[in-house]
Amino acid sequence: DAGVIQSPRHEVTEMGQEVTLRCKPISGHNSLFWYRQTMMRGLELLIYFNNNVPIDDSGMPEDRFSAKMPNASFSTLKIQPSEPRDSAVYFCASNRQGSDNEQFFGPGTRLTVL
């Protein structure tokens, strides 16, 4: 299994630009999670999907952030417009709901907003 795949691995952009992060969960997993990791705030759950439906987006910081899961094998996290304080590592994780609940993490996308 290829594991959770995230792209890009690194993204550098300028303030005000739109940023799209991508995630491909492990095949057969029906839950997908987006996290943000910063030195100041640690690891924060932004949103999670179950069977492609957003279940809890209470961690999404503001309206500039949006996430979609158009099908079981793909999800995006979009920031529009981006701001320097959005600089962080963004992780995607997936698991199979109803199993032993372990989340499998992707390698992360390091976002730098100048």
Partner 1 sequence: AQSVTQPDIHITVSEGASLELRCNYSYGATPYLFWYVQSPGQGLQLLLKYFSGDTLVQGIKGFEAEFKRSQSSFNLRKPSVHWSDAAEYFCAVGGNYGQNFVFGPGTRLSVLP
Shortest Å, Cβ 77 to partner 1: 16
Residue type, 80: Q
1 lines the binding site for partner 1 (CB under 8 A): no
Question: Considering only CA atoms, which of 93, 91, 87 is closest in space to residue 111?
Answer: 87
Closest CB to partner 1 among residues 20, 44: 44
C-alpha span between 100 and 47 (Å, rounded): 20
- 2, 42, 53, 71: residue in contact with partner 1 (rule CB under 8 A): 42
Compute the C-alpha angle 9/10/15, nearest 5°: 140
Q: Give the x/- contact pattern for partner 1 in 91-110, rule: CB under 8 A.
A: x-x-x-xx-xxxxxxxxx--
CB of 76: closest distance to partner 1 in angstroms?
18
